[in-house]
Amino acid sequence: MNTSPTQSQSQGRKRRIRLTMFFVLCFLVWTGYTTYLQSGILTEKEEKLAALQAQADEVQDKNKELNYKANRLNDKEYIAELARKNHFMAKPGEVLFVLPD
């Protein structure tokens, strides 16, 4: 009679271990699937971030260029040069020659 309860306890223990292992396996599969999905989303976001950073760099470069041009507009010599070049103006006593393009 002593062998019967021991065998029953052993079978019960095996069942509990199998059930626990089944839940652990299900949890691991779910975790792996979730990680796989999130890695794809993360890759997309990293690509988008890189594109936005490149765009931000371009905008910063253009901003620096425009600030440089705006600062040059405070220089009277530069304004005179632009007036001569774009509007065909001349200083008093200068002779202006317009050549066809």
Q: What is the pLDDT of residue 5?
A: 62
Per-residue burial over 57-74, b if 16 or more Cβ lie within 10 Å, else e, is: eeeeeeeeeeeeeeeeee
**Pairwise pLDDT comparison (76 vs 96), residue with the higher score:** 76
- 23 pLDDT tier (thresholds 50, 70, 90): very high
Say yes or no to pLDDT of 60 above 60: yes
Say yes or no to pLDDT of 31 above 90: yes
Query: What gap in Å lies between CA 54 and CA 59, rounded to an integer?
Result: 9
Q: How far is residue 14 from each of residues 21, 24, 57, measured CA to CA in Å?
A: 10, 15, 63
